[in-house]
Amino acid sequence: MPDHTANPNEILRVQNVRRGFSKPQDELLVLDDVNLSLGRKEIVGLLGRSGSGKSTLLRIIAGLIRPSGGSVVYRGAELDGPADGVAMVFQTFALFPWLTVLQNVEAGLEALGVPAQERRQRALAAIDLIGLDGFENAYPRELSGGMRQRVGFARALVVDPTVLLMDEPFSALDVLTAETLRTDLLDLWNERRLKIESVLIVTHNIEEAVFMCDRILVLSSNPGRVIAEIKVPFPHPRNRLDPAFRRLVD
């Protein structure tokens, strides 16, 4: 097995992570001895079958649930809850339906104790960055799926994360909408308009992984463990998208 721990540009490390869920009779071991490392300026894919534990692993890295064993080390310190600097985008957007776009995005900052006026300014900047200006006062139900996920992205980006975790962020969208959002995100990444150092994207779409990622990790099932690492060769596919295709998705 490749050694995922030897990464000189490491910013976050998952080491020997195990996670089980109790069942009536016994325990379901979902993740067993997962190791991976995220470095600076890389987009890493996590590919695996349904039920292999991808979302569980992302939730552990985000500090939303705890591992049964092992640890997540972020900037040299072991995490024991959500870290300031690690943000997550969810597959089904996870927006508050009773809040407007602006309020949803501001909600990303509330837990951090940012003062109201600064919250508003930062939320408006994130909304603008992700192409949602003009929709500040709309409610999620008034938006298309693609726009809702843009709100999900704005809410994650507003905290100025160092590490961005994405759990199948495009899988609930139709293919062209997904392509547009992927391309917009990659443009922000390529133009260095984000402070993000490292992206971990969960997907079960191999083409998406090859298109977006510098490195792809493969998670086995029953139990989940990183069993392979694939490096995507240069010149990277995401830097040579055909202009005609770009016009189609823009």
What residue ranges bind ligand ADP (CB under 6 A)?
21, 30, 48, 50-56
One DSSP character per residue, 89-140 reads E-TT----TTS-HHHHHHHHHHTTT--HHHHHHHHHHHHHHTT-TT-TT--G
Residues near Mg ion (CB under 5 A): 54-55
Binding partner at 52 among ligand ADP, Mg ion, none, C-beta below 5 to 8 Å by kind: ligand ADP
Q: Nearest 5°: phi and psi at 165?
A: -105, 135
Place of tokens 């079960």: 204
Q: Nearest 5°: phi and psi at 196?
A: -55, 135
Q: Are 223 and 53 in contact (CB under 8 A)?
A: yes
Q: Specify the 3-state DSSP secondary structure of 23.
A: coil
Closer Cβ to Mg ion, 57 or 114, answer by number: 57
Could you tell me the smallest distance in angstroms from the CB atom of residue 126 to ligand ADP? Answer: 26
Binding partner at 161 among ligand ADP, Mg ion, none, C-beta below 5 to 8 Å by kind: none
Closer Cβ to ligand ADP, 58 or 164, answer by number: 58
Could you tell me the smallest distance in angstroms from the CB atom of residue 87 to Mg ion? Answer: 17
Closer Cβ to ligand ADP, 56 or 180, answer by number: 56
Could you tell me the smallest distance in angstroms from the CB atom of residue 70 to Mg ion? Answer: 20
Could you tell me the smallest distance in angstroms from the CB atom of residue 22 to ligand ADP? Answer: 8
Task: Give 230: exposed, middle or buried? Use CB within 10 Å, 0-12, 13-18, 19+.
Answer: middle
Closer Cβ to ligand ADP, 7 or 221, answer by number: 221
